[in-house]
Amino acid sequence: MGRRVCVKLWIHFIAGDTSGHNNLVGHMNGGWPKFIYQDCRCLFDDLSSPIPMCSLITSEELKQARLTENGLTNLCKQNISNAFENVPFDDLKYGLLGSVPAEMLHVSGTGLLKHMFGCLDNLIGGPNSKKKDKESFDDLHRCLVRDAEQQSERDFPRMSIQNGITDGTKMCGSKRVGNCFVLLCVMHTHSGQKLMCKEMKDRKISLKKFKNCLKLYVSFECWVNEPHPRSQVKQSLKALGILINLIKECFPRDEGWGWNLPKMHAFAKMPHNMLKFGSANNFSGNIGERALKGIVKDHAEKTQRRPDKFAEQCAIRKYESNVIKYVMTDISSQIGVSTHSSKTNNEMWESRGRYTIHFCKTNNRGVGIGEDKVFWHDSKREKMQLKVSDLFIFAIRRYSHVNGFTDEFKVTGYTTFKVYDNASDNSVKYYANEYMNGQKRYDYAMIEFVSDDGTIATCPAMILGFVRYNITLGIPTLQFTGEEELTLNTIQENMAVDNNLYVVVHTASDYVSSEQLEKEFVSLFILGDVMNCVYIVKVEAIHGPLFVFKNYGSSGDNATKLFCTLPQRRWGQYLSNKIQS
């Protein structure tokens, strides 16, 4: 203690785009240099190699090149006075050249995906032809983006419908990833395949390979940002090579340099950067872009916008906002406005949109002999005399009739069910509403069932409504007749109240397991017959939210086909399974 020590810091890496890295290391940034990429000796034809075999340039070679006439020029480097020459780097062998990893925001989001959507425009019909087909394709894209906005599952990248899917202008990189996922959904629909079939057939592009390419791409986007064992990262080179070959095959690019691009080369080298620096989140450019927005863009309007004072005033506004935020954090608990209290088990979910259904008496055939009435607790809905799903009423009446109860009774129904997650402060909402924003909305979810062999199986299902048997006493419910196996006479003698919350669902005709969804990425299912596939289950049986879209443009039997997709949080697992298989 008390000793004077010399602390030497080193630079681990410098995040940025290709142009910025080229300027930083003094690489020739234009024309047609012999070595296109800044840290290796790969030639032009090597840039689209699926598994690059790079000969990297060391710090010692750069040092020797400076002492040789045209030495730097032969390495496609400029003779500049670099401020980083004597700065210590983590990479002792390659120095600055080994500390400028390419990152996914500029390599993929604003790079490869932009070119892929340009190729998609050519696949539909070229820049100046088949405008009607392109508009139809954009309409289909808009429909699926709208569907994604009205789902219980909201775990997707941001999407854009501003200029259509093939127009990549005025679009950030993260939205292109979302649009790539929407394109995958489009290619599963009848309309999407019809619009693309002729050009894909002429260019001999397989629909199966096209969809596999998109699946691998969006899964790689998530996989690189997740932690993985080093052994799996090394094994990913083969899967990434397959993806690069599929990109070149499914998105043929004839203009410019084709796919011999520095960003394609950087894309292929991503596993090498991960082995060196960890997951791609560690060297992502999103942090810098977000800081630019938070420090400059959010405070620009509160400055005089004078060039000589702009940066200083932005910094002052940022400081002031931070002071206000920290003070609010300190006093929030004292003034009683804290919103970060953890919820108890009884508060982990809540139901909303309450109404009461008065069921009339039932005849021997299970049909009501009068009119079932719905009373809304919301005055506006009561005034509009809104209805509820006929299948919802049918399921509740059928359950009571099958268990011998034929008298009139009342139940409490709900249109919305919200589930909280204490670990992440996130929540999921499930809607079952006849009228919401001018239209019907019935969300989908994965429901857990006990299969015939006693194992837990999952099945996609449409939610028809939520119900609680807390008004009329002595009614057969799932708790009384199913779990406690009580007879109707015993139930009526006890006159007990069942306070469980149930959900009425219309399930698919077959199970879809989590493993199947991870394997297929997009799984096909059909809602089953209403006499056999409409159930009342406890809300605890809801396994999780689900994104479902219909088969646009189909007719006949194909019109009943629905597709469910893997959520973004599990996209990386899709690629992990491919690597390990």
Q: What is the pLDDT of residues 100-123, one digit of tens each?
A: 999 998 899 888 999 998 888 888
Residue 147 contacts residue 138 (beta carbons within 8 Å): no
Beta pairing class for 548-550 and 561-565: antiparallel
Least confident of 298-312, 460-474, 537-551: 298-312
Least confident of 6-20, 113-127, 337-351: 337-351
322 in any annotated domain: yes
Q: What is the pLDDT of residue 128?
A: 65
Same domain, 148 and 195: yes
For residue 206, count CB atoms less than 10 angstroms from its CB and return exposed for 0-12, middle for 13-18, buried for 19 or more.
Answer: middle
Tell me the mean pLDDT in the region 271-294: 83
Least confident of 184-193, 284-293, 326-335, 564-573: 284-293
Instruction: Return d(Cα 398, Cα 367) in angstroms, integer.
Output: 9
pLDDT at 350 over 80: yes
The Cβ of residue 500 has, within 10 Å, a number of other Cβ atoms equal to 17
Least confident of 125-129, 195-199, 508-512, 514-518: 125-129
570 in any annotated domain: no
Helix, strand, or coil here: 182?
A: helix
pLDDT at 340 over 70: no
pLDDT at 172 over 90: no
Least confident of 196-200, 206-210, 357-361, 421-425: 421-425
Residue that finishes a domain, picked among 80, 100, 120: 100
In this predicted model, which residue has the larger pLDDT, 424 or 132? 132
Instruction: Return d(Cα 82, Cα 79) in angstroms, integer.
Output: 9
Same domain, 448 and 352: yes
Q: What is the pLDDT of residue 337?
A: 61
Same domain, 267 and 296: no
- Our count of domains for the chain comes to 4
569 in any annotated domain: no
Same domain, 241 and 271: yes
- 388 is written with which tokens? 């509820």
Output phi, psi for 202, to 5 deg. Answer: -65, -35
240 in any annotated domain: yes
Same domain, 312 and 247: no
Tell me the mean pLDDT in the region 79-90: 87
Tell me the mean pLDDT in the region 530-558: 93
pLDDT at 163 over 80: no
Same domain, 319 and 362: no
Angle between helices 173-186 and 207-223 (to 10 degrees): 150
581 in any annotated domain: no
Distances (CA, A) of 151 to 101, 160, 404: 37, 17, 37
pLDDT at 440 over 70: yes
Report the phi/psi class of residue 8: left, alpha or beta, with left for phi > 0 and alpha for psi in -120 to 50.
beta
pLDDT at 334 over 80: no
pLDDT at 134 over 60: yes
In this predicted model, which residue has the larger pLDDT, 171 or 370? 370
Distances (CA, A) of 441 to 232, 364, 388, 437: 42, 33, 11, 9
Same domain, 317 and 262: no
pLDDT at 419 over 80: yes
Residue that finishes a domain, picked among 100, 135, 153: 100
Same domain, 376 and 503: yes
Instruction: Return all residues near 124 (Cβ < 8 A) that are at least 6 apart.
Output: 130, 133, 134, 137, 166, 195, 196, 199
301 in any annotated domain: yes
Helices (H) and strands (E) in the chain, counts: 19, 13
Distances (CA, A) of 313 to 302, 306, 327, 339: 8, 9, 21, 32
358 in any annotated domain: yes
Tell me the mean pLDDT in the region 19-32: 86
Residue for token pair 């004292």:
334
- pLDDT bin (cut points 50, 70, 90) of residue 416 is very high
Domain extent, residue 274, equals 104-284
Same domain, 257 and 399: no
Same domain, 261 and 323: no
Instruction: Return d(Cα 62, Cα 54) in angstroms, integer.
Output: 17
507 in any annotated domain: yes
Q: Among candidates 403, 407, 355, which has minimal Cα distance to 377?
A: 355
Length of the chain: 581
- pLDDT bin (cut points 50, 70, 90) of residue 347 is low
Same domain, 325 and 375: no
- pLDDT bin (cut points 50, 70, 90) of residue 444 is very high
Same domain, 203 and 144: yes
Residue that finishes a domain, picked among 35, 65, 100: 100
| ∠ Cα 56 38 48 (to 5°) | 85
Instruction: Return d(Cα 430, Cα 443) in angstroms, integer.
Output: 6
Helix, strand, or coil here: 539?
A: helix
Q: What is the pLDDT of residue 534?
A: 95
Q: What is the pLDDT of residue 143?
A: 92
pLDDT at 338 over 70: no
